[in-house]
Structure 1
C-alpha cells in the first residue's frame, strides 16, 4: 500500500529521493553560505574599526610632532612611557653629552646605508637619555670606532646644552632576521636597555630622542674633522590599508550571497521540472 507521501513499505519512493537530496543540498549550502558571509562581514567590520584607530593614531602623532617641545619625561615618569602615549612627542633633553658612551647602530636612510650615532645626555641627577644625533657614513663610523677603542681614555663631556627632537621607543631584540651582538658592539636596532648595559650605564631612560635637524650640537671631539651627524631624518609613516581590506572582505561576503542565491535558484528550477516518464 502506498500512502500520499510516496512511502511504500516504510521506505522512500524513487520519485521522492531526488527531492530529499535536493533539500539536503540546499540546507548545507545555506548553512555554509551563512557561515562564510558572517565571517567575511565580521572581518570587514573589524578592519573598519582598525581604520578608525589608525586614523586617530595618525592624527595624534601629527599633533605631537608639530607641537611646541616639552621637557622629556623624567625618571619618575619612565615606567609610564609608552608608544601609545608618548612616541613622536616633541621633547627637549638637557644635560651633557657623554661622547665616550656613544654607540653606532646600522641604518638605511635617504642618504644611503650607514649608521645612527647615539650618545647619552646626562643630567645633573645622573639620569641618562640616549639621543640619536643623526646619520653618519661608514667612513665616519670607522673613525669613531677607532677613538672609542681607546679604553684608557677618560670621559669626554660636552658643555651643558639642550637638544630638541622626537621621543622614540626602544627597539629591543634586533633587526629583521638579525640579532644585536653586544660583545662585538654590533647593533642592528636601537635597543636602549642592551646598549646601556653594554656601556655600563645605569639610570637610563627607556626611550631615545631623534635630534631635530635644526638643533645646534657642538662638534664631537672624537670625530675631529669628520663630517658631523645629519639629524632630522626621522621617517614617520603608517601603513594604512584597512579600507582596502574592509572592502575586500565585504566584497567576498557579497559574492558568497550572490553565488548561493544563483545555485539555489538553479536547483529550485531543476526540482520543479516534472520527471519524464519512460515510454
Structure 2
C-alpha cells in the first residue's frame, strides 16, 4: 500500500508540474500573439516625420518618412535569405533635411553584383526605425577596406559612415530605383515557439500519467 501511495503521489506531482509548464506556455503564446499584432500594427501605421518618431524617445519599428539625399558611401553586409541564399544588404548614409545624416538599410542584392551608385538628388523615403542587435563575440570583424560587414552594428556603422546612430529600414522609395530589393521590417524574425513548447509539455504530462498508471497496475498485480 505504501508503495502504491508513493507511486501515485510521485506520478500526480510530476504530471502537475508538466501540465503547469504547458499552461504557462499557452499563456505566453497569447502574450506573444498580442505583442506581434501590436508590432505589425505599428509597422504598417501612417509614416511620421523622423523627429516625431524619436520623441520623447526612440520608438523601434515606428514608420517614418524622410526627405533628403544619399551620400556617396555604402556598406555591404553579408546576409542570407531563405529562398535566395547569400545576399548583401546595402546600407547607405542619408542626410535628412532639418535633422542630419542617418543610416538607411536600402535592401538586398545578390552578393556577386556590383553596388550601384545611389542617385544624387533629393528623395523622399518611407521606412521603419530599427535597432538590430546582431553583432556578438562570434561575429567576424568587418573588412573596412572592402566595405564588407557581417552584422548590423548600428553604432559602429554610423561611425564609419559619419552619421548619427539611427537606422531606417527602407520600405518604399517612390519612383526611385536604388538597384536593390527592399527588405522591410516585419515580425518574421521574432520567435514564437510557445505552441510547440506547450504541446511538448502536455505530451510529456500524458506520457508521465500513462507510465504512472502502468507502474501502479503492475505493482498492484504483483504477488505479495
TM exceeding 0.5: yes
Q: Which has the larger radius of gyration?
A: 1
1:229 counterpart = 2:176: no
Deviations along 1:163-193, one digit per CA (max 9) or x if unpaired, are 0023322334159x53232545431111111
Residue 54 (structure 1) shift: 2.0
Does structure 1 conserve the Cα–Cα contact (< 8 Å) formed by 2:102 and 2:163?
A: no
Taking structure 1 as reference, are residues 234 and 62 closer, same or farther at Cα in structure 2, changes over 3 Å only?
Answer: closer
Q: Secondary structure at the match of 1:130?
A: strand
Larger RCO (alpha carbons 8 Å, 6+ apart): 2
| 1:103 corresponds to | 75
Cα distance in 2 for partners of 1:95, 1:119 equals 13
Q: Secondary structure at the match of 1:197?
A: helix
Cα distance in 2 for partners of 1:218, 1:60 equals 31
Cα distance in 2 for partners of 1:167, 1:43 equals 36
Cα distance in 2 for partners of 1:186, 1:135 equals 13
Name stretches of at least 5 consecutive residues in structure 2 with no aligned partner.
none
Superposition TM-score, scaled by structure 2 size: 0.78
Taking structure 1 as reference, are residues 129 and 250 closer, same or farther at Cα in structure 2, changes over 3 Å only?
Answer: same
Does structure 2 conserve the Cα–Cα contact (< 8 Å) formed by 1:93 and 1:121?
A: no
Taking structure 1 as reference, are residues 217 and 130 closer, same or farther at Cα in structure 2, changes over 3 Å only?
Answer: farther
| 1:11 corresponds to | none
Cα distance in 1 for partners of 2:148, 2:157 equals 10
The correspondence for 1:181, drawn from 142, 146, 167, is 142
Q: Secondary structure at the match of 1:99?
A: coil
| 1:56 corresponds to | 34
Does structure 2 conserve the Cα–Cα contact (< 8 Å) formed by 1:126 and 1:203?
A: no
Cα distance in 2 for partners of 1:98, 1:125 equals 16
Taking structure 1 as reference, are residues 111 and 197 closer, same or farther at Cα in structure 2, changes over 3 Å only?
Answer: same
Question: Which segment drifts farther, 69-78 or 47-56?
Answer: 69-78
| 2:199 corresponds to | 247
Q: Secondary structure at the match of 1:204?
A: coil
Cα distance in 1 for partners of 2:34, 2:52 equals 27
Deviations along 1:59-113, one digit per CA (max 9) or x if unpaired, are 12332333222223558538x335xxx32x332123222222x211112234543
Does structure 1 conserve the Cα–Cα contact (< 8 Å) formed by 2:93 and 2:163?
A: no
Deviations along 1:137-182, one digit per CA (max 9) or x if unpaired, are 33313x76xxxxxxxxxxx99443320023322334159x532325
The correspondence for 1:67, drawn from 40, 45, 65, is 45
Taking structure 1 as reference, are residues 263 and 204 closer, same or farther at Cα in structure 2, changes over 3 Å only?
Answer: closer
Residue 124 (structure 1) shift: 4.1
Question: Which segment drifts farther, 104-113 or 39-48?
Answer: 104-113
Residue 125 (structure 1) shift: 4.6
1:29 counterpart = 2:1: no
The correspondence for 2:25, drawn from 37, 42, 47, is 47
- The 5 A counterparts of 1:77-226 are 77=55, 80-81=57-58, 86-87=60-61, 89-100=62-73, 102-109=74-81, 110-137=83-110, 138-141=112-115, 158-173=120-135, 177-181=138-142, 183-184=144-145, 185-199=147-161, 201=162, 203-205=164-166, 208-217=167-176
Cα distance in 2 for partners of 1:179, 1:204 equals 21
